[in-house]
Amino acid sequence: MYVQYGAIIYLTDYAFSCSLGSLATPKTLQAAIQHFSDYENCRKFMVAVRWLDEIVRCPRCNSDKVTYLAKARLYRCYGDHPKQKFSLKVGTVFEDSPIALEKWLPAVWLIVNCKNGISSYELHRALGVTQKSAWFMLHRIRLAMAIEVLHQGRRSRLRSRSGRNLHRWQGEKYAPEQKATPDHRSLDRR
């Protein structure tokens, strides 16, 4: 889970709170892109977010007997199960995606830090991916943030209801303000 500015992104099936401790987190988009362009920074960040004690465990058997294969950018579990190799994306919203973590993490940073949301075209221009990939990434990240976004959206809809609907709820009649110009139905048509 990645928490910043009230948004929660569930990287795994389990929700937990984490503290990134001494891990540096970028403050601007440019810093985020530069920081996450290095795979080693992405790897350290994902390990700190997914495993609180920073001991990598197999997502299938939960064993801590794993080795990092640097050339393949994979982990190998020594447990007795069919899929012994796994990446950091397994068990997250990034799973089954050919897009590298070097693109996913700045996208997450950008979406979480935009107050008014972001379009796929904006994401495509900022990250240098195709618009179709940006749309895919945007939907995956929004799906991961769905619980918090729905909660916030419900609150804002309740606040924005005013005028006719508000008066209907209270059982009062709504009297709209008189317009200065006449209605088109009241004009004499000859």
For residue 129, what are its two tokens? 């991916």
In this structure, which amino acid lies at residue 121? Y
Q: What is the mean pLDDT of each run of 10 residues along the chain (190 residues)?
A: 43 43 74 89 90 88 90 90 88 89 92 88 93 94 72 47 44 52 52
- Predicted TM-score (pTM) of the model is 0.64
Whole-angstrom distance, CA of residue 81 vs CA of residue 84: 6
- Assess contact for 68 and 80: CB atoms under 8 A: no
User: Tens digit of pLDDT for each residue in 93-149?
Assistant: 888 889 999 999 999 999 888 888 899 999 999 999 999 999 999 999 988 887 555
Task: Give which of 44, 2, 36 is closest to 19, Cα–Cα.
Answer: 2
